[in-house]
C-alpha cells in the first residue's frame, strides 16, 4: 500500500495544498455536524430541563451575561437559529471539502493520465512489439479508474470516517465513559466484519465479470459470424449456447446477490444492536443518575451518524488490495524505459549513400540479421525480396532506429555518418518508413494524410494522394477528404489504407523512403501507378522497396534477395533474372498464378 501511495503522490506536486484544505474543512464539517446534537442536549438538559449546563466556562459566562436559563427559555428561536447555523456551516465545509478533494484527485489523475499517455508515446518500438495493445489500454483506462476511485472517493471517505470516529469518541468520552465503551466496541467489529466479507466475495465478483465477458463474446461472435450462422442454419445451436452462458451469468449474479443481501441484513442488524445496546445501557446509567436525557439523545444520534461510514470502511479496506494491484500494473508501464532525448544528435544531409557494415541484429535469442553488408546508392531505387521471417522488415526498422543497433554488431551510415549520431526525430522525419500494417487515426482522410505535415493545403494533400493513386477513390466518397476513417466513419479496404499511409509519407517529402511491404494489399495495376509516380522523385530521393511481390520490385535499380537474414542474391533485376536463383523462381511462380486470374480485384481484407 505504501508503494501505491508513493506512486499516487508522485503526481500531487503543487496540489498538495488541496489535500490539506480537505482535511481541515472535513474536520470542521464533522465538528459542526456533531455540534447539533450537543445543542439539542444543552436545550433538553439545561434550557427545558433542570440539569446543570455542562458547557465550557467561557460559553457559560456569555450565556449568563445574556440572561441565563430564563433568557434562553423565552427565546428558543435563538437555539433553533444555532442549529440552523451549525447546519449551514456543516454544509459549507462539506462543500469545501468535497471540492478541494475533487480538485486534488482530478489534478492527480489528469497528470497520471497525461504522463501515462506521453510515456507510451516515448516508449521504444520494441516495447510496443512486446506488449499487447489491449492489455496496455486496460491498464491506462480500467486500472487508472480504480486509482481514481481511490483518490477521489475513498481517500475523502477514509479521512472523514477517521475524523468522525475521533471526534465522536472524544465527545462521547467527555460525556460518559461507560456508554462510550459500548459504542467503541462495535466500531472495530463492524469494520472487521465488512472487510472480511468484501474480501471473501471479491472472487465471486470476478467470476461474474468473467461470465459477463464470456456472454458478451458469445453475442459478438454470433453477430460477426451471422452469415456463417445463417448459411449453416445454426440458429438453434447458437441460441442454446447463448442460453447456457446467459443462465450461468444470471445465476452467478443471483447467487452473489444472495450473499450481498445477507451482508446488508447483517449490517442492519449490527447497527440495530449497537443502538439498542446504547439504549439499554443508557437506561441503566440513567437510573443510577449517571446519564442525563440530553446525553442519552446525543449518544443515540452519534451512533446513528457513525453506522454507515463505519460499515463503508470495511469495503474501502478490502478495496485496498485492488488499488495496490492497479497501481502496480500502472507502475509497470511508467517504469519501462523510454527513448532518451539526444541533445548531442546531429542533423546531416540525408541524400548520401546508405551503407550497412557487418550489421547483425537479433531479437531475443532469435538472430534476424546476420553480418549484413551492402550499399544503397543515394538517389537510387533499391528493392529487397524475401519471404516472411527472412529479416526484411528488420532492415527498415534498423534504418530509422525503431530498433537500435547494439555496440559491436556493425553500423549503418548515411552519407558516411553513423545513424546513431543522428538525432532520432530528425532521422525518422527524413527516413520515411511506410509500415506493412499502417495505422490510420480516426480523423478525416485529409487529416490523416497531412498528419505529419501540419498546415498543408488541400492541393498539396491531393497531390500526394494522387501520387499514391488514392485521389480518385477519395473523391468518390461522398465527403471526399473530409471522410472520417474508422469505427464511426467509412471502413477503408486494406489497399486503401496502405495508399493513405503512402500518401502520408509522401507528404513529408523525406529524402529516404522505405516501403515495407506496404503495397501488399494494393492490386497490381495500382501498384504500377504508384511506382510510376515514385519514379518521378527518383534522383532526389533514395527509395527502398521491400516486398514479396516480384512485380513491385522489377523497376528497382538494384535488388537484394534475403534468406534467413543473409544475402542470397544481389544485383540488377536483369542480372538476377539471368542468374536463375530465388528471384527467377519466384518470378515464374508468381506470373503463373497471375495469368490464371481473369479479373484482378483489390483485396478487401
Scanning residues 517 to 546, which ones bind another protein (CB under 8 A)? Answer: 520-521, 524
- Using CB under 8 A, count the residues that bind another protein: 148
Q: Specify the residue, 6 or 262, whose C-beta has the smaller distance to another protein.
A: 262
| 129 touches another protein (CB under 8 A) | yes
Options 183-191, 248-256, 378-386, 571-579: segment touching another protein (CB under 8 A):
248-256
Given the DSSP bridges, would you call strands 512-516 and 354-363 parallel, antiparallel or unpaired?
unpaired
20 binds another protein (CB under 8 A): no
Asked if residue 183 lies in contact with residue 300, where contact means CB atoms within 8 angstroms, the answer is no
Indicate which single residue of 1, 269, 346, 532 sits in contact with another protein (rule: CB under 8 A): 269
Residue 511: which residues within 8 A CB-CB, separation 6 or more? 350, 351, 430, 540, 541, 542
Least distance (Å) from another protein to the CB of residue 367? 22
By the rule CB under 8 A, 47 interacts with another protein: yes
Candidate ranges 3-11, 462-470, 568-576, 585-593; the one touching another protein (CB under 8 A): 585-593
* Residue 231 interacting with another protein (CB under 8 A): yes
DSSP for 359-408?
A: EEEEETTEEEEEEEEEEE-TT-EEEEE--TTSSHHHHHHHHTTSSPPPTT
Stretch touching another protein by CB under 8 A, among 175-183, 213-221, 377-385, 403-411? 213-221
- Of 166, 174, 178, 258, the residue at the interface with another protein (CB under 8 A) is 258
Residue 2 CB, nearest distance to another protein (Å)?
A: 27
Q: Does 582 bind another protein (CB under 8 A)?
A: no
Residue 438 in contact with another protein, rule: CB under 8 A: yes
Residues of span 289-308 touching another protein by CB under 8 A: 289, 291, 293, 296-297, 300
Which lies closer to another protein via its Cβ, residue 33 or residue 327? Answer: 33
Name which of residues 310 to 339 contact another protein (CB under 8 A).
none
| Listed ranges 40-48, 158-166, 534-542, 563-571: which one lies at the site for another protein (CB under 8 A) | 40-48
Least distance in angstroms from the C-beta of 170 to another protein = 22
Work out whether 50 is an interface residue with another protein (CB under 8 A): no
**Cross-strand bridge partners of residue 562:** 567
Considering only 166, 200, 250, 409, the residue that binds another protein (CB under 8 A) is: 250
Neighbouring C-alpha atoms within 13 Å toward the C-beta of 388: 2
Q: Which three cell numbers stand for residue 296?
A: 442519552
Q: How far is the CB of 247 from another protein (least distance, A)?
A: 7
247, 349, 472, 575: which one binds another protein (CB under 8 A)? 247
CB 154 within 8 A of CB 316: yes
Bridge partner list, 363: 366
For the bound state, the minimum distance from the C-beta of residue 331 to another protein, rounded and expressed in Å, comes to 17
**How many of the other CB atoms lie within 10 Å of CB of 227?**
8
Residue selected from 8, 27, 28, 136 as contacting another protein according to rule CB under 8 A: 136
Task: State the burial class of residue 232 (Cβ atoms within 10 Å of its Cβ: 0-12, 13-18, 19+).
Answer: exposed
Three-state DSSP class for 457? coil
323 close to 313: Cβ distance less than 8 angstroms: no
Q: Which of 15, 24, 60, 266 binds another protein (CB under 8 A)?
A: 266
The rounded radius of gyration (Å) of the Cα atoms in the chain is 37
Beta strand ranges found along 265-380 (DSSP E)? 354-363, 366-376
C-beta atoms surrounding 425 within 10 Å: 13
Q: Is 604 in the site for another protein (CB under 8 A)?
A: yes
Residue 214 CB contacts under 8 Å (≥ 6 apart), including other chains: 245, 248, 249
Taking CB under 8 A as the rule, does residue 114 contact another protein? yes
Q: Which of 55, 189, 204, 246 binds another protein (CB under 8 A)?
A: 246
| 224 contributes a contact to another protein by CB under 8 A | yes
* Residues 467-526 close enough to bind another protein by CB under 8 A: 487-488, 501, 504-505, 508, 520-521, 524
- Do residues 353 and 375 lie in contact, with contact meaning Cβ atoms separated by under 8 Å? yes
Q: Do strands 366-376 and 542-547 pair parallel, antiparallel, or not at all (unpaired)?
A: unpaired
* Cβ neighbourhood burial of 341 (10 Å; 0-12, 13-18, 19+): exposed
Kindly indicate which of the ranges 177-185, 279-287, 354-362, 371-379 contains the residues binding another protein, using the contact rule CB under 8 A. Answer: 279-287
Beta carbons within 8 Å of 467's beta carbon, 6+ residues apart: 502, 503, 506, 530, 533, 534, 536
Among 6, 61, 137, 325, binds another protein (CB under 8 A): 137
Q: 553, 535, 567, 576: which is closest to 392 by C-alpha?
A: 567
Binding positions for another protein, 371-410, rule CB under 8 A: 400, 402
Q: With the C-alpha atoms ordered 511, 516, 517, 522, is the resulting torsion angle positive or negative?
A: negative
Among 14, 56, 454, 455, binds another protein (CB under 8 A): 454
Bridge partners (DSSP) of residue 485 are: 490
User: 51 or 357: whose CB is closer to another protein?
Assistant: 51
What is the footprint of another protein within residues 62-91 (CB under 8 A)? Answer: 73, 76-77, 79-81, 83-84, 86-88, 90-91
Residue 425 binds another protein (CB under 8 A): yes
CA 116 remoteness from chain centre: 8
Binding range to another protein, per CB under 8 A, among 163-171, 354-362, 431-439, 468-476? 431-439
* Residue 594 is a binding residue for another protein (CB under 8 A): yes
Question: Residue 199, SS3?
Answer: helix
Q: 590 exposed, middle or buried (CB, 10 Å; 0-12, 13-18, 19+)?
A: middle
Say whether residue 103 binds another protein (CB under 8 A). yes
Shortest separation between residue 546's beta carbon and another protein, angstroms: 14
Question: Could you say which of 57, 233, 455, 476 contacts another protein (CB under 8 A)?
Answer: 233
Q: What is the Cα–Cα distance from 314 to 194, expressed in whole angstroms?
A: 5
* Cβ 283 vs Cβ 300: under 8 Å: no
* 118 near another protein, rule: CB under 8 A: yes
- Cβ proximity to another protein: between 115 and 371 the closer is 115
Amino acid at each position: 500500500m505504501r508503494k501505491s501511495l508513493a506512486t499516487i503522490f508522485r503526481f500531487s506536486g503543487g496540489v498538495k495544498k488541496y489535500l490539506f484544505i480537505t482535511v481541515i474543512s472535513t474536520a470542521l464539517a464533522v465538528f459542526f455536524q456533531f455540534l447539533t446534537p450537543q445543542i439539542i442536549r444543552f436545550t433538553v438538559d439545561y434550557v427545558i430541563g433542570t440539569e446543570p449546563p455542562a458547557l465550557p466556562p467561557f460559553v457559560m459566562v456569555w450565556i449568563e451575561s445574556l440572561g441565563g436559563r430564563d433568557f434562553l427559555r423565552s427565546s428558543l428561536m435563538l437555539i433553533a437559529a444555532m442549529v440552523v447555523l451549525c447546519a449551514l456551516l456543516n454544509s459549507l465545509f462539506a462543500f469545501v471539502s468535497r471540492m478541494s478533494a475533487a480538485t486534488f484527485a482530478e489534478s492527480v489523475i489528469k497528470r497520471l493520465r497525461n504522463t501515462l499517455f506521453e510515456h507510451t508515446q516515448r516508449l521504444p518500438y520494441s516495447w510496443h512489439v512486446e506488449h499487447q495493445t489491449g492489455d496496455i489500454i486496460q491498464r491506462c483506462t480500467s486500472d487508472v479508474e480504480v486509482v481514481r476511485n481511490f483518490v477521489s472517493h475513498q481517500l475523502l471517505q477514509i479521512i472523514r470516517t477517521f475524523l468522525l470516529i475521533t471526534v465522536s469518541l472524544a465527545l462521547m468520552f467527555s460525556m460518559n465513559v461507560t456508554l462510550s465503551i459500548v459504542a467503541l466496541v462495535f466500531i472495530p467489529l463492524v469494520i472487521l466484519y465488512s472487510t472480511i466479507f468484501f474480501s471473501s466475495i471479491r472472487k465471486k465478483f470476478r467470476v461474474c465479470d468473467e461470465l459477463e465477458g464470456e456472454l458478451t463474446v458469445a453475442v459478438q461472435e454470433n453477430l460477426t459470424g451471422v452469415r456463417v450462422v445463417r448459411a449453416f442454419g445454426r440458429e438453434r445451436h447458437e441460441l442454446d449456447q447463448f442460453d447456457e452462458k446467459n443462465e450461468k451469468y444470471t445465476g452467478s449474479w443471483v447467487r452473489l446477490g444472495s450473499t450481498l443481501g445477507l451482508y446488508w441484513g447483517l449490517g442492519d442488524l449490527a447497527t440495530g444492536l449497537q443502538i439498542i445496546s446504547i439504549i439499554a445501557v443508557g437506561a441503566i446509567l440513567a437510573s443510577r443518575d449517571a446519564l442525563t436525557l440530553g446525553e442519552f439523545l446525543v449518544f443515540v444520534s452519534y451512533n446513528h451518524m457513525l453506522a454507515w461510514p463505519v460499515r463503508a470502511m470495511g469495503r474501502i479496506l478490502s478495496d485496498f488490495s485492488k488499488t495496490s494491484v492497479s497501481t502496480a500494473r500502472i507502475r509497470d508501464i511508467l517504469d519501462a524505459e523510454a527513448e532518451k532525448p539526444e541533445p548531442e544528435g546531429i542533423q546531416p544531409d540525408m541524400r548520401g549513400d546508405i551503407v550497412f557494415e557487418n550489421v547483425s541484429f537479433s531479437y531475443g535469442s532469435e538472430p534476424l540479421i546476420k553480418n549484413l553488408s551492402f550499399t544503397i546508392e543515394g538517389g537510387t531505387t533499391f528493392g529487397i525480396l524475401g519471404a516472411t521471417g527472412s529479416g526484411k522488415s528488420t532492415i527498415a526498422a534498423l534504418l530509422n532506429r525503431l530498433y537500435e543497433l547494439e555496440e559491436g554488431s556493425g553500423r549503418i551510415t548515411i552519407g558516411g555518418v553513423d545513424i546513431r549520431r543522428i538525432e532520432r526525430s530528425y532521422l525518422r522525419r527524413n527516413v520515411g518508413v511506410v509500415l506493412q500494417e499502417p495505422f490510420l487515426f480516426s480523423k478525416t482522410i485529409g487529416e490523416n494524410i497531412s498528419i505529419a505535415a501540419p498546415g498543408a493545403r488541400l492541393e498539396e494533400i491531393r497531390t500526394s494522394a494522387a501520387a499514391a493513386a488514392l485521389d480518385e477513390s477519395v473523391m468518390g466518397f461522398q465527403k471526399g477528404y473530409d471522410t472520417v476513417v474508422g469505427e464511426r466513419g467509412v471502413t477503408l479496404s486494406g489497399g486503401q489504407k496502405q495508399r493513405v499511409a503512402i500518401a502520408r509519407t509522401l507528404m513529408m517529402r523525406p529524402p529516404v523512403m522505405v516501403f515495407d511491404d506496404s503495397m501488399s494489399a494494393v492490386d497490381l495495376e495500382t501498384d504500377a501507378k504508384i511506382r510510376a509516380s515514385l519514379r518521378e522523385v527518383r534522383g532526389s530521393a533514395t527509395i527502398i522497396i521491400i516486398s514479396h511481390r516480384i512485380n513491385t520490385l522489377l523497376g528497382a535499380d538494384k535488388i537484394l534477395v534475403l534468406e534467413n537474414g543473409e544475402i542470397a542474391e544481389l544485383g540488377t533485376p536483369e542480372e538476377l533474372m539471368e542468374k536463375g536463383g530465388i528471384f527467377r523462381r519466384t518470378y515464374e511462380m508468381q506470373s503463373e498464378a497471375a495469368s490464371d486470374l481473369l479479373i484482378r480485384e483489390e483485396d478487401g481484407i
